[in-house]
Amino acid sequence: MSSLHRISARVSEENRALVHQAADLAGLSVADFLIAAALEEAHRIIEREQTVTISRSYARSFFAALDNPPQPNAALIAAVREYRNN
């Protein structure tokens, strides 16, 4: 069983009234409305920050390079040797 924690915030009278009106229209308590809105925004932000979107052509090139990597060039070989010696 998880424990419950309190989150609080101070808002202007205008914002308080707006939240109360929206909660009433949604048929929710203010607490349930705020929790639902905060969780929806939290999920949206986390998904946005943890998702990389690329074009189809770039994805094809990327996966082709993974399937058929180029041979290491002299600079890469030198870098690996230097890394292993340090």
Q: Quick one: pLDDT band at residue 2, thresholds 50, 70, 90? A: confident
Q: Quick one: pLDDT band at residue 86, thresholds 50, 70, 90? A: confident
Average pLDDT value for residue range 12-17: 98
Predicted TM-score (pTM) of the model is: 0.64
Three-state SS string across the chain, please? CCCCCCCCCCCCHHHHHHHHHHHHHHCCCHHHHHHHHHHHHHHHHHHHHHCCCCCHHHHHHHHHHHHCCCCCCHHHHHHHHHHHHC
Give the tens place of pLDDT for each residue, 20-78.
999 999 999 999 999 999 999 999 999 999 999 999 999 999 999 999 999 999 999 99
- All domains in the chain, ordered by first residue: 13-85 (1.20.5)
